Amino acid sequence: MIDGDALMGRGRDLPHAGDLLAVEAIDRTGLIVTSEGALVRIFRVAPCNPLLMSAGEREKTAGAFARLVSQLGAEETVQIYIDARPVNLAELLADCRREVQASAGPVPTAADGDRLALARWRLYAGMEESLRLHADAQAAVKVSCYVVVPLVPRQSVARAALAWAKRSRLPTASLERPVSAHRRAVREQLAHVDALRAELEAEGMATELLDGEQVARLMWARFNPTRADDARRSSPTCHVEVLGELDAAGDRDLARQAAVRLREQIATSSLDFKSSHQHVVVDRDVEQTILIANTAGRTQMGWLHGAMLTRQPFTLSVFVHGLERRRERQRLKLAYRRLHTINRGAEQRGRVPDFDRYVQEREYRELLGDLATGETSNLFRVSVYQTIRTRGPDPDLAALSEAVDFCTESIESAGDCKVSRGEFRQHELWCSSLPLGRDLHGRARKYPTANAGDMLPLIGTRCGSLTGVPFAFADPGRTVELINHGPVELAAYSLAIALYLQDRRRNLPAAYVAKVAVACVALLAISAVLETWVSV
């Protein structure tokens, strides 16, 4: 429940945390039905690393992001959701332990005499000890990138007119519709998601569509951050009822009861928005949401990356909303004519030229040219929210304030814009930052296609393999990097672990260290030659 301090006398009148979760149903395929009647799907993306790219590669990736947003039609929205939380050591070590057990068998004893199996388990023990010792000191995080795709089903003319008359910030549709209309909406939404995934996969960014259990776990971790972080060293305890496929007619009362149970199972922690006008208490953590308050003066691919390097856990939500091309072009024409008339009139009167007005006139002219000739050019409304969190049960408010200052300065210096700290608006901002494609705050700014593509934060500091054994911490980024465990790479990795284990017992001579380093480099070079020969 929200504001759980006053339980005496007013307990029955307190709102529930589930009221903030505008979800009516989640089926096993990952389809979400929101309270506005929108259909939402979420897929995970493997981000690119702009720090390892050349200028040409960065330009190519920026073009792919621009093509991604250009696929949005009028009144269509996409949300980029970045979730950075402490690395789950229990899950990471469990995967490594399964791989060691698959290759070396169960943990041997001294009487077994299998020296190779014993050496492998000792290497695993050294790696586990290293991770447990240094993960918290390095503030190791796991950064996950998601694309949230909401789609409002088609409506009749009468319902569309009624929705326009209400002037609500979010587009709505009826929760009751014929089965045939619902199936058509599901097919259209899935086709839209597949088109977005294809655009990213063509650029080499792997994607994965989340199923119902993964979606529920993502929502549960956001509403229960303290318990989600506690699950790093133990098995997560998230039990959410997920429905079957939403492909048949159902009773209205039963659907409402299922929605209430779903919200109760996900939103099980308290939220307090009244203790401070600057932050919100979620579970036992403290969170503060900031937002970009005006139009960014300059953008480039990955310009939000600086704000993603904070040492505190955070979520970053970027909403891109497509506008009607014809209407926006007409508005630009009128604005250009007015500005052109003002500038020419000032020249005739001999007044001092206004440099900003000349720059704006040139930008309008170039944008009108793009809209007239480019089929993929359009205008989009973009809003950016970042929620920074300090972990409980004893949250450090000074560390939260320091992280907010760091993120604010990074965004303002990179984009030449103003960042609002969200005083007195945390309730609305926090709800807008949830991965549901619902921009409740709605303070978006207009950007052309290229700049809207630059706003997508599908970036990271990953420099290792997608699978393998933990090898190192990335700097910057503090992510745990993996290395493919082929026989040659694993031999080099084993030498490095052996060096670490011996260094803990005695001082090593410089000659020995140099020999081990040369052996590791030689083994990695051999593996590179073998991989090249095999690929040919």
Dist. CA 435–CA 22, nearest whole Å = 11
223 & 125 share domain: no
In a domain, 32, yes or no: yes
Residues 130, 145: one domain? no
Judgement on whether residues 150 and 186 belong to the same structural domain of the protein = yes
Residue 491, domain extent: 118-138+465-535
303, 289: one domain: yes
Residue at 108 is within a domain: no
Backbone angles phi, psi at 9, to 5 degrees: 90, -35
**pLDDT at residue 150, as a whole number:** 95
Of 336, 371, 406, at which residue does a domain stop? 371
* 149 and 198 co-located in one domain: yes
Q: What share of the chain is helix, strand, coil (3-state, %, to 5)?
A: 45, 20, 35
User: What pLDDT, on the 0 to 100 scale, is given for residue 421?
Assistant: 94
Rg from Cα positions in the chain: 27
Domain count, the chain: 3
* 1 falls within a domain: no
Q: Beta strands of 293-428 (E only): which ranges?
A: 314-322, 379-390, 419-420
Beta-carbon contacts of residue 243 (< 8 Å; ≥ 6 apart): 25, 26, 27, 28, 212, 258
Same structural domain, 469 and 526: yes
pLDDT of residue 120: 75
395 and 361 in a common domain = no
Give the sign of the dihedral formed by CA 501, CA 505, CA 508, CA 512: negative
Domain limit, last residue, from 423, 454, 485: 454
Tell me if 499 is assigned to some domain: yes
Ranges under pLDDT 70 in the chain? 1-14, 110-114, 137-139, 155-169, 231-251, 374-375, 464-469, 471-472, 483-517, 519-536
pLDDT at 536 (0 to 100): 34
| Prediction pTM value | 0.83
Q: Please tell me whether residues 287 and 392 are part of one structural domain.
A: yes
Residues 403 and 435 occupy one common structural domain: yes
Average pLDDT, the chain: 81
Which pLDDT belongs to residue 236? Answer: 44
Query: In this structure, are 125 and 146 located in the same domain?
Result: no
pLDDT digits (tens, 9 = 90+) for 60-109: 999 999 999 999 988 899 999 999 988 877 777 887 788 778 777 777 77
404 domain residue, yes or no: yes
Tokens of 443: 């303070």
Q: What is the pLDDT of residues 200-232, one digit of tens each?
A: 999 989 999 999 999 999 999 999 999 888 765
Please report whether residue 111 resides in a domain. no
Q: Please tell me the distance from the alpha carbon of residue 173 to that of residue 40, in angstroms, as a whole number.
A: 13
Distance CA 328, CA 109 (A): 73
H, E, C per residue of 54-87: CHHHHHHHHHHHHHHHHCCCCCCEEEEEEEEEEC
pLDDT of residue 12: 43
Residue 104 lies in a domain: no
Residues 244 and 283 in one domain: yes
For residue 5, what pLDDT is reported?
44
- Model confidence over 408-437: pLDDT tens digits? 999 999 999 999 999 999 999 999 999 999
- Could you tell me if residue 110 is inside a domain? no
Could you tell me if 148 and 171 lie in one domain? yes
Which of these three, 339, 371, 403, is where a domain ends?
A: 371
